[in-house]
Amino acid sequence: MSLALCGSLTVGSSPAQAAVDAYVLRYLDAKEPVELAIDETRETRLFSATQLSEGKRLFGESCTNCHVGGATLPDPTQPLSLKALQGAMPPRDTVESLVAFLRQPMTYDGSEESPSCRQIPETWLSQEKVENLAAFILRAAQKAPGWGTSSF
């Protein structure tokens, strides 16, 4: 299933309230805020369906061309599955580590800058937004059926 095809719904009646994506509610099981590891100490933080929905929107706008369904089209051996994120050097299985990668993409083994992934400077996305993007990727890796596999 392509992430770009999933719809969204508005939660509440106030126009100031953000849209919550139906994919986030159904496939990421985010009806209640979800706990995600922030750093290597495994300290956690809660992310709401609204934050994960923003992360999904940002993923769809900037990442889905190369990472449809968590696959990595330029190098299929390095998907965005939880196992692959954990196996990277350094591991990319926390919000903080994924944010660091998004700010300065490195190859899977961490030996050099990645030529195929776009850097996300703070002038482009605020810290809060890039954390929501990282949270979406991590939650999808944990919960989304087929995420990071060839059978999405």
Predicted confidence (pLDDT) at residue 125 exceeds the cutoff of 50: yes
Predicted confidence (pLDDT) at residue 152 exceeds the cutoff of 60: no
**Three-state secondary structure call for residue 8:** strand
Residue 93 within any structural domain of the chain: yes
Ranges 3-17, 87-101, 120-134: which has the least confidence: 3-17
What is the percent of the chain where pLDDT is above 90?
78
Give the containing element (helix H, strand E) for 36: strand 34-37
At 18 the pLDDT is: 61
CATH number at 51 reads 1.10.760.10
State the chain's mean pLDDT as an integer: 88
Residue 35 within any structural domain of the chain: yes
At 1 the pLDDT is: 32
pLDDT in tens, 133-142: 999 999 999 9
Residue 39 within any structural domain of the chain: yes
Residue 149 within any structural domain of the chain: no
- Assess whether the previous peptide bond of 15 is cis (omega < 30° from 0): no
Give the range of the structural domain holding residue 38, as residue numbers without chain letter.
3-143
How many domains, the chain?
1
Classify residue 33 as exposed, middle or buried by CB count within 10 Å of its CB (0-12, 13-18, 19+): middle
pLDDT in tens, 64-116: 999 999 999 888 889 999 999 999 999 999 999 999 999 999 999 999 998 88
Residue 139 within any structural domain of the chain: yes
Predicted confidence (pLDDT) at residue 9 exceeds the cutoff of 50: no
Residue 121 within any structural domain of the chain: yes
At 61 the pLDDT is: 95
